Amino acid sequence: MAYYIFNIGLPATTEWWSQNLDRKVITAGFEGQPGDRGDVILNQLAAGDWVIAYVNRHGYVGAGIVLGDETYQLHSELPNGSLSDHLHERSVDWRYFVEDVNAAISIYEADRQQPRQTKESIDSKVHAERIIGKIQARSWGRQGRYGRVRWELVRDAVFDLGRPVSVAEVRALIRMRDPQFNSKNIRPDMEKMSVNSDIRAHYQGVKKGRRSDSGHPADKLFKTSFGKNVRYEPYVPEVHGVWVLEYDSSGAGKVYEAPQTLIAHAAILARREVDSIEVTPIDGELDGRKRVLMQVAMRQGQFNFRSLMLAAYGERCAVTGCSTVDVLEAAHIVPYRGIHTNRTDNGLLLRSDIHTLFDLGRLWIDPGTMTVRLASDMRDTDYWQYEGIKIVLPKSRNDWPNPEHLARHIHDSEPQSRREDH
């Protein structure tokens, strides 16, 4: 296996790069004749080699695996609608890519100058995989052709179904939401996101190991198998344990569960016990302090709800933008009354101190403007900087906080904290 930089040539535009992606090829021009330079450089590639696509004045936009030499073609005339004059092409399985060339990995980020030829070899495997890793990381945040990132649609479908689900069930839900969605990669996406999948190593571009508690965006699902029945569900470390993806010197990967320390094992057992306790519905007439204490106790067991909220809000506090996952909590807007209240539109992802202020009624969200409001006696505190700012909303409108829930929260909280003039 070798690594190459490949300049996609002219025009250096998103539209031309999109044609490469859509046709799953890399192309070359030159004279457009048998035996010319375009013929030679494409047939020098071996099946299984990596090519890293480069766009002039932009940077590195994609990484993929070259397919067999039988996929090489020399067209007698330009393919229908082609924006380039290239007649030579070779098929590529584009694994990671950005769709807009303006989102390319720059030569400075890649620590490599622009290629001086159409095809250049990268002698350092470490350097090549570093560039691929940067493209891979950026591709996880790309906007998909159908309005959302493909893997986000897959993940959201699993989370929204709210139970262990099959590939067919996920495919049906996504097709209902977006009839144009290309569903052929749903299974690979689910395997890639499943922390305990034995074959997930096959889908990783950069052969670099990691633990499932490292915060990697691909570690979102857990896979279970009963005979031929395979199901996927949201990954919750406290329930499913920590899993390790590891590669040996030959690049072969394996997945295994990390051994638990005695303390970690005890904590997991305790949390599972808390999660199984049937909590009495909260009476609206209970005093605020008692309600807060009950919610603090309950929130420690609501791992599936927190998992949903982390995914919906992109692991960022809706008020502060804080991305330190360890201090982010899933706050119920209407108090917890059973599993049916664990809905994304009945929650906010908040930093722990903001969560406490929200529960105490010292901070609330205006349902009409989705802006933060604070009790007037908070004016001289550090928290006043958040007064009037618009909260960060989830990408999916279905996950936005329900205005009726926010209005209910305001009504149920202490009235004097919001009736005073600001």
At residue 388 the predicted structure's pLDDT band, cuts being 50, 70 and 90, is very high
Taking the CB of residue 36, how many other CB atoms lie within 10 A of it? 16
* Position with higher pLDDT, 307 vs 26: 26
Most confident of 39-48, 204-213, 255-264, 272-281: 39-48
Tell me if residue 24 falls in helix, strand or coil: coil
% of the chain with per-residue pLDDT over 90: 33
Which of left, alpha, beta for 318 (phi over 0: left; psi -120 to 50: alpha)?
alpha
The CATH number fitting domain 150-257, selected from 1.10.357, 2.60.40, 3.30.70, 1.10.10: 1.10.10
Task: Look at residues 309, 387, 405 and name the one whose alpha carbon lies nearest to residue 351.
Answer: 309
| Least confidently predicted of 22-36, 74-88, 408-422 | 408-422
Backbone angles phi and psi of 291, in degrees to 5: -65, -40
Per residue in 89-118, pLDDT (tens digit) is 999 999 888 888 888 899 888 888 888 899
CA end-to-end span of the chain, whole Å? 66
Distance CA 350, CA 327 (A): 8
Q: Which residues contact 216 (CB under 8 A, 6 or more apart)?
A: 210
Number of residues in the chain: 422
Q: What is the pLDDT of residue 323?
A: 87
Q: What is the pLDDT of residue 304?
A: 66
Catalogue the E-assigned strands of 229-325: 229-234, 243-247, 253-257
Predicted confidence (pLDDT) at residue 416 exceeds the cutoff of 50: no
Predicted confidence (pLDDT) at residue 146 exceeds the cutoff of 80: no
**AA letter at 286:** L
Tokens of 370: 């989705």
Tokens of 167: 């590939």
Distance CA 53, CA 8 (A): 6
At residue 139 the predicted structure's pLDDT band, cuts being 50, 70 and 90, is confident
Q: What is the pLDDT of residue 204?
A: 64
Angle at 226 between CA 223 and CA 232, to 5 degrees: 25
Q: What is the pLDDT of residue 211?
A: 87
Predicted confidence (pLDDT) at residue 405 exceeds the cutoff of 70: yes
Q: What is the pLDDT of residue 261?
A: 55
Distance CA 13, CA 10 (A): 8
Cβ–Cβ under 8 Å, residues 88 and 32: yes
Distance CA 94, CA 136 (A): 11
Architecture of domain 3-139: Roll (3.10)
Q: What is the pLDDT of residue 207?
A: 64
Going by their DSSP bridges, the two strands 229-234 and 3-7 should be labelled as unpaired
Cβ–Cβ under 8 Å, residues 136 and 208: no
Q: What is the mean pLDDT of residues 47-66?
A: 93
Question: What's the sign of the alpha-carbon dihedral 399, 402, 408, 411?
Answer: positive
The enclosing H or E element of 37 equals: helix 37-43
Task: Look at residues 273, 237, 236, 230 and name the one whose alpha carbon lies nearest to residue 258.
Answer: 237
Predicted confidence (pLDDT) at residue 387 exceeds the cutoff of 50: yes
- How many helices (H) and strands (E) the chain has is answered by 14, 16
Q: Which residues contact 116 (CB under 8 A, 6 or more apart)?
A: none
Predicted confidence (pLDDT) at residue 290 exceeds the cutoff of 70: no
Per residue in 299-348, pLDDT (tens digit) is 433 556 787 788 889 889 999 999 888 788 889 898 866 555 677 888 99
Q: What is the mean pLDDT of residues 71-87?
A: 91
Give domain limits for the chain: 3-139, 150-257, 278-419
Q: What is the pLDDT of residue 363?
A: 94
Question: What's the sign of the alpha-carbon dihedral 407, 412, 415, 417?
Answer: negative
At residue 265 the predicted structure's pLDDT band, cuts being 50, 70 and 90, is low
Q: What is the mean pLDDT of residues 150-165?
A: 79
The whole-chain average pLDDT of the chain stands at 81
Going by their DSSP bridges, the two strands 253-257 and 328-332 should be labelled as unpaired
At residue 218 the predicted structure's pLDDT band, cuts being 50, 70 and 90, is confident
Predicted confidence (pLDDT) at residue 270 exceeds the cutoff of 60: no
Backbone angles phi and psi of 370, in degrees to 5: 55, 40
